[in-house]
Amino acid sequence: MTPLLVATTNLGKQGEFRRLLAALDAEIVVPGDLGLDLDVDEPFDTYAENAATKAAAFGRASGLLSVADDSGIEVAALDWGPGVRSARWGGPDKADSLLAALTDVVDRRARMVCALAVAIPSSRDPRVVGPAAEPAVELFGGVVEGVVASERRGVGGFGYDPIFLLPSGVTTAELADADKDAISHRGRAVASALPRLRELLASP
């Protein structure tokens, strides 16, 4: 099978991507499988730019079709932050930090946002000429609306999942993996990319 690189070292994301991409006729690999140790800066103010930078860097280093995402939580009471800084915001436990920041806050509207970048190596993209050419990058996205819960609930998922409350009344940490994947921001982004990934994997 053709390898498809999931360009993240986050173990929680790796697990989700392996599930979300399992239907593809591809060998899902992660940086550790290839001995890749890249530290890619994510300095931009948009999820799309950060995801594209990461996917392209891993695509260049590996020569493989690569996917990367940038994602975060946006909270109305925090001027729709922390957003792209979600992974670097707050203390060691991001969920607890967010709960503390929203103590006594009434408006708890929030959304989870994901930008997914697919880096296409020059060898698979007829529009690009030359072995040293930059990978082409295509972007996909997913959003899920909810609110921030008043306390942690559930033991599944990772990151902000225990405090992200869906309209159905459960947090994403209370969902079974398959149920979460069907509605999550990352699940929706991957679902939108699957037809294109199938085309790319089927091409010579």
User: What DSSP character marks residue 89?
Assistant: S
Q: Note if 33 is an active site residue.
A: no
- Grouping H, G, I as helix, E, B as strand and the rest as coil, residue 132 is coil
Q: What separation in angstroms does the CA of 153 have from each of 104, 109, 163, 166?
A: 18, 17, 6, 12
Q: Which two tokens mark 10?
A: 């986050």
What is the number of other CB atoms lying within 10 angstroms of the CB of residue 169?
8
Among residues 25, 33, 70, 96, the one annotated as catalytic is 70
Distance CA 126, CA 142 (A): 28
User: What DSSP character marks residue 39?
Assistant: -
User: What DSSP character marks residue 14?
Assistant: H
Q: Would residue 83 be called left, alpha or beta, if left means φ above 0 and alpha means ψ between -120 and 50 degrees?
A: left
**Position 15, amino acid:** G
**Position 2, amino acid:** T
Distance CA 180, CA 23 (A): 16
Active site residues: 70
